[in-house]
Amino acid sequence: MHASSSSPARNRPRRLVPGLVLGALVLGVAGVGLAGGCSGTPPQPDKPAGKPIDVGAFEVTVRDTLVMTDRLDRNQRFLAVRMRVVNKGRESAALGAGGLRFGLVGRTRDGKWVNPDDVEAVAAGSKIYEVHPGLPVEATAKWRMGPADAPRRFVLGLREWEHGPGFTDTDIRWRADTEDGRLAARVTLAVTGS
């Protein structure tokens, strides 16, 4: 015959585990709040035109923005941002796909950030397609415009560049940070021309 003896520990309600879980949850929420919360993208610093901006792979000095027409098709208009660009890396960097173009964005009327349709550059009076290390170039980023578009102001965003391996490859190189919408800087410019 067994006598059922009830120990005091078994008669106590099991509140220890739920209490620990609740405590950890409260500390976690407080930690997230102290670290800035889930407020989304942090504000991008506003920078003035005419001052060099270090974005990692490049040093960019935004000069001005204007409306220009295409040389071959006078009906095609562009919003053009002119800038001085210096490649700070050890290898030449493309201006178009995979290069400087991915590090530039313009804000549309409805607040979306879009890459330029084209980036052209000139060095020593000649058109170039790459930015060589240490060689300053005069670049122009161009966004296509409709015939009636005529903004008075334009906001240019400069993305931060990171040096490291890619997501699908192990090549160590400069890449524009396009993941979280963060920008290294924003430059607000008055648009000239028509």
Under 8 Å between Cβ of 38 and 32: yes
In a domain, 40, yes or no: no
Into how many domains does the chain fold? 1
Supply the range of the domain harboring residue 76: 52-192
In a domain, 73, yes or no: yes
The region of weakest confidence among 14-18, 22-26, 65-69, 144-148 is 22-26
In a domain, 117, yes or no: yes
pTM assigned to the model: 0.74
Tens of pLDDT, residue by residue over 85-138, are 999 999 999 998 889 999 999 999 889 999 999 999 999 999 999 999 999 999
In a domain, 17, yes or no: no
Tens of pLDDT, residue by residue over 139-184, are 999 999 987 787 899 999 999 998 888 778 787 788 888 877 789 9
In a domain, 2, yes or no: no
In a domain, 5, yes or no: no
In a domain, 21, yes or no: no
Instruction: Give the pLDDT confidence score for residue 34 in this predicted structure.
Output: 46
In a domain, 14, yes or no: no
What is the CATH classification number for the domain harbouring 114? Answer: 2.60.40
